């Protein structure tokens, strides 16, 4: 994503987003990796001391990264400052790592990977050689004993 396409977008429902923004010819805006900006005031006895800014996925339960919205839903578009752009990229990275972690946890639940990793014998592979376990029969008698046991008529 190009830094020049990153914009702050205020939409009519009051959400303030930061995202990659492009304008389509058919009256739509395309939002790429939109994140909602939330500002929370820091209060002390004297009043507002400052503001904490939080970024979160705009649609938490969607894996989509591109959204098209009508142009008339957008109230304003602004350029973010450099610090906000850096915060945005950091938040995108954290969000992606969280998604990967969630996907891994879901996969591991389906395949019971934790149990298999805790108990390597459940994998069915020899940990030292990474070859499948095979039951081998070993002759406990000495070969010379076999010759002695044989009778010649």
User: Which of 89, 70, 73 has its CA nearest to residue 19?
Assistant: 89
User: Which of 18, 20, 12, 24 has its CA nearest to residue 38?
Assistant: 18
Confidence (pLDDT) at 45:
84
Residues 6+ apart with CB under 8 A from 28: 68, 69, 70, 71
User: pLDDT exceeding 70 applies to what percent of the chain?
Assistant: 72
Residue owning tokens 């752009």:
85
Q: How confident is the model at residue 142 (pLDDT cuts 50, 70, 90)?
A: low
The stretches of the chain forming alpha helices (DSSP H) are: 82-111, 113-118, 143-149
Alpha-carbon distances of 117 from 49, 108, 123, 132, rounded to whole Å: 49, 10, 8, 16
Each residue's pLDDT tens digit, 84-139: 999 999 999 998 888 888 888 877 777 665 566 666 665 555 555 555 545 555 55
Q: What are phi and psi of 56, to 5 degrees?
A: -145, 160
Is pLDDT above 80 for 37?
yes
- Report the predicted TM-score, pTM, of the whole model to 2 decimal places: 0.64
DSSP state letters, 116-151: HHHSGGGGTB-TTT-SB--------S-HHHHHHH--
Confidence (pLDDT) at 120:
60
Alpha-carbon distances of 34 from 39, 89, 113, 114, 121, rounded to whole Å: 16, 11, 33, 34, 45
Weakest-pLDDT range from 13-17, 54-58, 149-153 = 149-153
Domain boundaries, the chain: 3-100
CATH class entry, domain 3-100: mainly beta
Confidence (pLDDT) at 144:
53
Is pLDDT above 90 for 55?
yes
Q: How far apart are CA 149 and CA 147, in angstroms?
A: 5
Q: How far apart are CA 111 and CA 139, in angstroms?
A: 38
């Amino acid at each position: 994503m190009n830094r020049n396409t990153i914009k702050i977008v205020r939409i009519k429902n009051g959400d303030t987003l930061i995202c990659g923004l492009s304008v389509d010819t058919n009256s739509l805006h395309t939002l790429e990796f939109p994140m909602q900006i939330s500002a929370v005031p820091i209060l002390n006895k004297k009043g507002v001391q400052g503001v904490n800014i939080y970024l979160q996925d705009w649609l938490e339960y969607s894996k989509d990264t591109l959204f098209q919205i009508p142009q008339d839903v957008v109230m304003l578009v602004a350029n973010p400052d450099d610090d906000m752009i850096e915060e945005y990229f950091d938040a995108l990275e954290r969000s992606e790592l969280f998604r990967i972690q969630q996907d891994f946890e879901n996969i591991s639940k389906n395949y019971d990977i934790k149990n298999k990793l805790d108990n390597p014998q459940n994998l069915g592979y020899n940990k030292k050689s990474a070859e499948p376990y095979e039951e081998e029969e070993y002759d406990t008698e000495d070969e010379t004993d076999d010759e002695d046991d044989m009778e010649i008529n």
